[in-house]
């Protein structure tokens, strides 16, 4: 392919704002998603004040919440619902798929761009509009959504604030659908010559399976969101039953709908969504571990097949979120069986990554530290999920802080650590400079410590039966009195975790200008993106499009003069 595009002068607006270059779109996704992660995290830091010191004035920002400076229950509910929504739909998924997928998939498969560049831009702008719509709800008279990130009817059908949430979700889902179709097409159609399926970096496999999950699971939720919007706006009753009594009053609704239908449609997306959150992080961690252990990934084939199986199984476990709805023991038995089965590929992936470390000469740089921390953190998150997958145990643990601890271990020190590993690892490719190692370690160690400080006590509170979504953290409940004091410990950990992100934010901006300049392949890596210039060339990525001759992780192979052999390096004729 000719590199003529590279010489074509583009205006600033065209180049950096209204761009169709997958790298710019990836960066746009990245910065937007990091901003939203900060917003979502900030909401939680405010909520944690109320949980630790109920009904006392919130320092610094109290005046936002009224003259008393106290977080009232309805605002607490809004912050809780929006925290979940923002972190998942505006933060992690756009960062994991929109940013990393966009930036890296074409580079790792040796393609000049995504298959549909304009669709790619449309995906980002739809995401941004969805995000802005969501955020605008904070400034409306009704306020933001307050029916949980799950938007369960009938509450979500009648409670204020949910209309804008639903409109925002429709934009966000559209964005994800456009993005994931693009990734699938790109991987299928635009792989470099010689890049066979089993030569794909594991990260690309993770993105491929993730994209299939998004494409297949999101449409039912998009349809459901439209139906719920109609329930709220035009008086339909898709999710409202006849004879609905709310607050002791008979609701004037046409009825005949089913609240449980929403739960099925929601979890049909939202359980695969868990794997949408975790698979890209697993992909990133795999790349970082292979590179920094200087060994091929152990069991590459097992990893790939386990991931495909995981993706398939993720579509038939959703109702384990609904054991308490009274759907019957036969249904519960089926879904708890599939849930136990899906833990097998997760264990295969985690085991393969652990075994990959065996006997390695590990480079303990910042990306590797985050990747290494991911393994036990995700392990805790995964293993604590098993009791929730069994109906008998779930009846007790459902809707307690145990659940919150479980999924936050998966998503926060799990996925987010994986994403941090990826940012530190690929930053030199994006900017041509490395991030500062000292600041990186100052980011990592406190983050690891305080993440556990927040989420580990949640298991203790949950096992004591403390419900999630309690505005006062359990203060008024006798059964919570023995574990209430943990709230202060968790809250202080959360605020310190917030402080621990300052070195990261400084590092991102500082290193753009002052980071150590590096060549195209500073980590001595094997995959194709490292054969491109840093940063890769606009629109075409590579000086000349590469051809692939090797497996993705040829590290420390005997008889080689270096401990790594790039995929694009031709094999010598014997």
Partner 1 sequence: MKIRIIGTLIIMVLIGVGYAADVKGKITFDGKAPKMKPLRMDADPVCVANSDIKPRKEWLILDENNSIKNVLVFVKESKSGSLADSYDTPKESAVIDQKGCVYVPHVLGIMVGQTLDILNSDGTLHNIHALPKVNKEFNKAMPRSKKQMSVKFDKVEAPFKVKCDVHPWMGAYLGVFDHPYFAVTDDSGAYTISGLPAGKYVIEAWHEKLGTQTADITVDDSGASQDFLFKKPSKKK
Cα–chain center distance at 407: 12
Closest CA to 286 of 418, 109, 111: 418
Q: Binding to partner 1 by residue 476, rule CB under 8 A?
A: yes
163 counts as binding partner 1 under rule CB under 8 A? no
At 531, list the tokens.
């054969």
d(CA 306, CA 283): 13
Query: Structure tokens of 378?
Result: 């995700």
- Residue 110 vs 148, nearer CB to partner 1: 148
Size of the site for partner 1 (CB under 8 A): 14
User: Least separation, in Å, of the C-beta of 136 and partner 1?
Assistant: 20
Question: What's the number of CA atoms in the CB half-sphere (13 Å) around residue 152?
Answer: 8
Contact 165, 145 (CB under 8 A): yes
* Pick from 78, 79, 44, 49: nearest CA to 62: 49
- Mark the segment that binds partner 1 (CB under 8 A) among 235-243, 430-438, 470-478, 549-557: 470-478
Contacting partner 1 within 98-127 (CB under 8 A): none
Count of helices and strands (H, E) across the chain: 20, 2
Closest contact distance (angstroms) between CB of 57 and partner 1 is 9
Site string for partner 1, 17-56 (x = CB under 8 A): -------------------------------------xxx
CB of 68 to partner 1, least distance (A): 6
Shortest distance, position 203 Cβ to partner 1, whole Å: 47
Nearer to partner 1, 10 or 472 (CB): 472
Taking the complex as a whole, the smallest distance from the CB of residue 487 to partner 1 amounts, in Å, to 16
Nearer to partner 1, 73 or 570 (CB): 73
Cα–Cα distance, 453 to 531 (Å, whole number)? 41
Nearest to 379 by CA among 426, 421, 417, 425: 417
Angle 79-83-89 from CA coordinates, rounded to 5°: 140
Q: How far apart are CB 301 and partner 1 at their closest, in Å?
A: 56
- Shortest Å distance, C-beta 75 to partner 1: 9
Q: Which two tokens stand for residue 115?
A: 């298959």
Q: How far apart are the C-alpha atoms of 74 and 146, rounded to whole Å?
A: 7
Closest contact distance (angstroms) between CB of 234 and partner 1 is: 19
Among 8, 60, 249, 326, binds partner 1 (CB under 8 A): 249
CB 80 within 8 A of CB 159: no
Rg, the chain, Cα only: 24
With CB under 8 A as the contact rule, the residue among 59, 243, 248, 359 that binds partner 1 is 248
Q: How far is the CB of 55 from partner 1 (least distance, A)?
A: 4
For residues 53 to 72, the per-residue mask of contacts with partner 1, x marking binding by CB under 8 A and - elsewhere, is: -xxx-----------x-x-x
**Under 8 Å between Cβ of 157 and 62:** no
> Least CB distance from residue 240 to partner 1, whole Å?
17
- Which x/- pattern, by CB under 8 A, does the window 290-319 give for partner 1? ------------------------------
Choose, by CB under 8 A, the member of 74, 488, 524, 569 that binds partner 1: 74
Taking the least distance from each CB to partner 1, the nearer of 245 and 330 is: 245
Which residue, 70 or 512, has its beta carbon nearer to partner 1?
70
Q: Which is nearer to partner 1, 23 or 232 (CB)?
A: 232
Of 399, 404, 385, 398, nearest to 47 by C-alpha is 404
Gap between the Cα atoms of 522 and 390, Å rounded: 47
- How far CA 313 is from CA of 138, 165, 194, 275, in Å, comes to 37, 29, 31, 10
Q: Is the peptide bond before 300 cis (omega within 30 degrees of 0)?
A: no
Residues 484-523, one symbol each (x = binds partner 1 by CB under 8 A, - = not), give ----------------------------------------
| Interaction site with partner 1 (CB under 8 A) | 54-56, 68, 70, 72-74, 247-249, 471-472, 476
């Amino acid at each position: 392919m000719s590199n003529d595009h590279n010489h074509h002068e583009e205006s600033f607006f065209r180049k950096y704002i209204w761009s169709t270059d997958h790298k710019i779109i990836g960066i746009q996704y990245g910065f937007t998603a990091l901003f939203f992660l900060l917003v979502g995290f900030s909401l939680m830091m405010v909520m944690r004040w109320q949980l630790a010191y109920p009904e006392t004035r919130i320092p610094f920002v109290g005046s936002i919440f009224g003259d008393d400076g106290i977080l009232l229950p309805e605002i607490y509910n809004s912050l809780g619902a929006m925290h979940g929504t923002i972190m998942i739909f505006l933060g992690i998924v756009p960062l994991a798929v929109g940013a990393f997928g966009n930036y890296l998939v074409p580079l790792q498969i040796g393609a000049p761009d995504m298959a549909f560049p304009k669709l790619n831009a449309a995906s980002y702008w739809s995401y941004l509009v969805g995000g802005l719509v969501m955020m605008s709800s904070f400034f409306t008279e009704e306020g933001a959504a307050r029916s949980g990130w799950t938007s369960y009817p009938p509450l979500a059908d009648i409670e204020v604030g949910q209309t804008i949430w639903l409109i925002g979700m429709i934009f966000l889902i559209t964005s994800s659908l456009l993005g994931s179709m693009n990734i699938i097409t790109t991987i299928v159609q635009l792989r470099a010559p010689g890049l066979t399926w089993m030569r794909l970096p594991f990260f690309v496999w993770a993105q491929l399976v993730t994209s299939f999950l998004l494409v297949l699971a999101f449409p039912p939720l998009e349809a459901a969101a439209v139906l719920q919007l109609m329930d709220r706006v035009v008086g339909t009753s898709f999710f409202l039953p006849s004879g609905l009594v709310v607050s002791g009053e008979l609701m004037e609704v046409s009825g005949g709908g089913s609240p449980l239908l929403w739960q099925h449609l929601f979890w049909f997306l939202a359980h695969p969504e868990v794997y949408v959150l975790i698979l890209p992080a697993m992909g990133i961690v795999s790349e970082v571990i292979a590179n920094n252990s200087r060994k091929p990934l152990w069991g590459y084939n097992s990893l790939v097949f386990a991931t495909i199986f995981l993706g398939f199984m993720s579509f038939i476990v959703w109702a384990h979120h609904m054991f308490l709805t009274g759907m019957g023991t036969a249904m519960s038995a089926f879904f708890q069986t599939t849930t136990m089965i899906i833990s097998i590929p997760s264990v295969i992936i985690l085991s393969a990554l652990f075994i990959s470390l065996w006997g390695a000469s590990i480079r303990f740089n910042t990306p590797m530290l985050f990747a290494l921390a991911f393994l036990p953190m995700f392990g805790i998150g995964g293993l604590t999920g098993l009791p929730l997958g069994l109906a008998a145990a779930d009846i007790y643990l459902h809707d307690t802080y145990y659940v919150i601890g479980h999924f936050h271990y998966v998503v926060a020190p799990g996925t987010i650590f994986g994403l941090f590993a990826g940012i530190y690892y690929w930053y030199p490719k994006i900017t041509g400079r490395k991030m500062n190692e000292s600041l990186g370690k100052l980011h990592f160690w406190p983050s690891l410590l305080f993440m556990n400080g927040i989420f580990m006590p949640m298991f203790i509170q949950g096992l004591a039966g403390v419900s999630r979504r309690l505005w006062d953290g359990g203060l008024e409940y006798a059964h919570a009195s023995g574990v209430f004091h943990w709230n202060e410990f968790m809250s202080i950990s959360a605020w310190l975790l917030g402080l621990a992100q300052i070195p990261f934010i400084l590092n991102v901006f500082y290193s753009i200008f002052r980071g150590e300049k590096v060549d195209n392949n500073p980590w001595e890596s094997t995959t194709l993106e490292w054969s491109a210039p840093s940063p890769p060339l606009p629109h075409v990525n590579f000086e000349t499009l590469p051809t692939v001759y090797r497996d993705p992780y040829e590290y420390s192979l005997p008889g080689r003069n270096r401990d790594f052999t790039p995929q694009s390096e031709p094999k010598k004729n014997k």
